[in-house]
Structure 1
Amino acid sequence: MLLLSRPDEIIEERIQTKAFQEYSPAHMDTVSVVAALNSDLCVSGGKDKTVVAYNWKTGNVVKRFKGHEHEITKVACIPKSSQFFSASRDRMVMMWDLHGSSQPRQQLCGHAMVVTGLAVSPDSSQLCTGSRDNTLLLWDVVTGQSVERASVSRNVVTHLCWVPREPYILQTSEDKTLRLWDSRGLQVAHMFPAKQHIQTYCEVSVDGHKCISCSNGFGGEGCEATLWDLRQTRNRICEYKGHFQTVASCVFLPRALALMPLIATSSHDCKVKIWNQDTGACLFTLSLDGSGPLTSLAVGDAISLLCASFNRGIHLLRMDHSQGLELQEVAAF
């Protein structure tokens, strides 16, 4: 509430409300994953078996892609391109082009169970896929052919990401470990110390020096994110504790406006938290009440985050540094 004094000395009350835009939903069911294609567009997938390209600045669906027979589990964009991949519970990986046909450009079949990891190499020439079948596959993006295969017992893959400017792939697993793979021969180059809980997601910093992983859990047990050093020591650097249910996603935030390095996490407890990367202090918590579990988090631009949820589609969140750090929900679609 804001009190304003007019010349006639009558006190006027005005309610300050934050602008919020409810756009047409991108999906008609739970959204499993969202990723930024560029500074205007995102691609997402969910239980409706559909991959959607969406302009989150205008609220318009750009294109819908249908071809999978089951829920979409992952999407991965080719950098500086209109092309991207989707993975599904149908065990298939499909390649799409925003400016091409609505039919997939490629269909990659090689896993025996649901595909749960996708990572595109920095030079866009290779794709790494991982599955609940304990297997990683390396594909040639141009030919669509599998070029390497590796399996590790009980290594149920939960997520994959490629280290910038390096031949290494980071992978989280249900066996509570974080593995670093060398794509040259697809062999494990390093295993980080096992955590107490399943590792659900991982991301590498832009400079390739650090990575974060996050844990499942309940009632505050587990439910944390962990910062690791990817360089020589490869030690655990910091932990971020404060969520009460599984942390499903974690991202490094752009350094454009903040005075310190930040990370963000989203959780099944309906909360998005922003953390001081160096100290582990929680700087802000946004509760997205009624959203259900938050499933995926992606950086839209220097001040925007995209957050997928079970019940309310995709949330557009904006960081504001004008009066200290805040995170606001500005739209949903």
Structure 2
Amino acid sequence: MPLPSCQLKPALPQVFRRLWAVMGKLQSKLRHSTYKYSRPDGHIEEGVQTKASLEYSPAHVDSVSVVATLSSDLCVSGGKDKIACIPKSKQFFSASRDKSVLMWDLQGSSQPRQELSGHAMVVTGLAVSPDSSQLCTGSRDNSLLLWDVGTGRCVRRASVSRNLVTHLCWVPREPYVLQSSEDKTIRLWDSRGLQVAHVFPTKQHIQTHCEVSMDGHMCISCSSGFGGEGCEATLWDLRQTRDRVCEYKGHFQTVASCVFLPKSMALMPVIATSAHDSTVKIWNQDTGACLFTLSLDGSGPLTSLAVGDITSLLCASFYRGVHVLRVDCSRELELQEVAAF
């Protein structure tokens, strides 16, 4: 059940303890999902799906900008917040437009455990180090700050002109932080001195999001755009070559989020993207072919994706809250909406 928001500070995102528990009035609706898209090879594909999904009373009264997974049955979602979870714990950080970052502990008080202040503008990126000892934050003030999680002290600060941060993520088992920016670039930072270690070739559109593969070898970024111009995701090699490997084109509006899917979800390496065109797409990571498109009609722009468990994805939207999507590989790879709250 969601924690009562009236007991918490405004910066605390909504928290849901069990994804499959009853969250308000349940409505079972028959939904029709249609899609039509052009693959990179020019082939037009279209299809119609009819399915029943469970729709609960909305947990949010406004749009949801981010969803993150704490465990297989626990997620955190935020309206205008940014969220970063501490691995294997019930602690997470949230950042809001008041320029501060708060640390929360679900097993403790309803008040924040820490408050970190140091940015001059809204905080737009959060990333926790693999060992949970450090937090990296980024802002529209062009700066990155590195924090000691134990003491709440800022230990390093760096700034790059026009580097309006859109997202941050930490490279697994490495001292590197990946960052996307409104200046259309992806930067790799070395946290040991908080210095830029590499800048990937500049794209044609704003880079809205970035994600690193679980083995730390690859990363994805996604682009803003409209009418199919831009609107792509790009796979980069994080190892010595650091080249662009593949592009995934087929969305018609800004791609807001991208994730690598676990090996348990498919027989091949796959990634998922969500976009402002209300679709979630699954792609063959190696070839760039679109394997499946799910249209969440009436949801408006889709803003965030997170892997829920070994078979599910969570997707945040403007108009219908958070969607639970199931990946089915029993025959051909399919994606189905099974619930929304």
Normalising by structure 1, what TM-score? 0.87
Query: What do the CA deviations read for 1:228-287 (whole angstroms, capped 9, x no partner)?
Result: 000000000000000000000000001114111000000000000000000000000000
Counterpart residue type for residue 39 of structure 1? S
2:274 maps to 1:266: yes
Match of 1:23 in 2: 56
Structure 2 unmatched runs, 5+: 1-48
Partner of 1:256: helix, strand, or coil?
Answer: helix
Query: Highest relative contact order (Cα 8 Å, sep 6+), 1 or 2?
Result: 2
Match of 1:201 in 2: 209
What CA distance in whole angstroms lies between the structure 2 residues aligned with 1:23 and 1:123?
A: 36
2:338 maps to 1:315: no
Counterpart among 163, 168, 173 of residue 181 in structure 2: 173
What CA distance in whole angstroms lies between the structure 2 residues aligned with 1:251 and 1:290?
A: 23
What CA distance in whole angstroms lies between the structure 1 residues aligned with 2:152 and 2:59?
A: 29
Match of 2:78 in 1: 45
Q: Counterparts in 2 of 1:285-300, with a 5 A limit?
A: 285-300=293-308
Query: What do the CA deviations read for 1:110-162 (whole angstroms, capped 9, x no partner)?
Result: 11111000000000000000000000000000110100000000000000000
2:99 maps to 1:104: no
Partner of 1:170: helix, strand, or coil?
Answer: strand
Q: Counterparts in 2 of 1:182-221, with a 5 A limit?
A: 182-221=190-229
Report the alpha carbon displacement of residue 17 of structure 1 after superposing the two structures with TM: 6.8
Normalising by structure 2, what TM-score? 0.85
Identity of aligned residues (%): 83
What CA distance in whole angstroms lies between the structure 2 residues aligned with 1:298 and 1:205?
A: 13
Match of 2:100 in 1: 92
Q: Counterparts in 2 of 1:53-202, with a 5 A limit?
A: 71-72=80-81, 74-202=82-210
User: What's the RMSD between the two structures over aligned residues?
Assistant: 1.0
What CA distance in whole angstroms lies between the structure 2 residues aligned with 1:225 and 1:257?
A: 20
Counterpart residue type for residue 222 of structure 1? G
Counterpart residue type for residue 28 of structure 1? V
Report the alpha carbon displacement of residue 92 of structure 1 after superposing the two structures with TM: 1.0
Counterpart residue type for residue 163 of structure 1? V
What CA distance in whole angstroms lies between the structure 2 residues aligned with 1:24 and 1:94?
A: 28
What CA distance in whole angstroms lies between the structure 2 residues aligned with 1:198 and 1:321?
A: 34
What CA distance in whole angstroms lies between the structure 1 residues aligned with 2:317 and 2:181?
A: 22
What CA distance in whole angstroms lies between the structure 1 residues aligned with 2:160 and 2:154?
A: 18
Report the alpha carbon displacement of residue 28 of structure 1 after superposing the two structures with TM: 1.1
What CA distance in whole angstroms lies between the structure 2 residues aligned with 1:294 and 1:144?
A: 33
Counterpart residue type for residue 158 of structure 1? T
Counterpart residue type for residue 174 of structure 1? E
What CA distance in whole angstroms lies between the structure 2 residues aligned with 1:127 and 1:174?
A: 21
Report the alpha carbon displacement of residue 18 of structure 1 after superposing the two structures with TM: 3.6
Counterpart among 285, 290, 298 of residue 282 in structure 1: 290
What CA distance in whole angstroms lies between the structure 1 residues aligned with 2:169 and 2:92?
A: 14
- Structure 1 range deviating more: 20-29 or 301-310: 20-29
- Larger-gyration structure (1/2): 1
Counterpart residue type for residue 33 of structure 1? V
Match of 1:49 in 2: none
What CA distance in whole angstroms lies between the structure 2 residues aligned with 1:197 and 1:19?
A: 37
Q: Contact 2:236 / 2:245 at 8 angstroms: preserved in 1?
A: yes
Match of 2:16 in 1: none
User: Aligned residue pairs: how many?
Assistant: 293
What CA distance in whole angstroms lies between the structure 1 residues aligned with 2:127 and 2:229?
A: 29
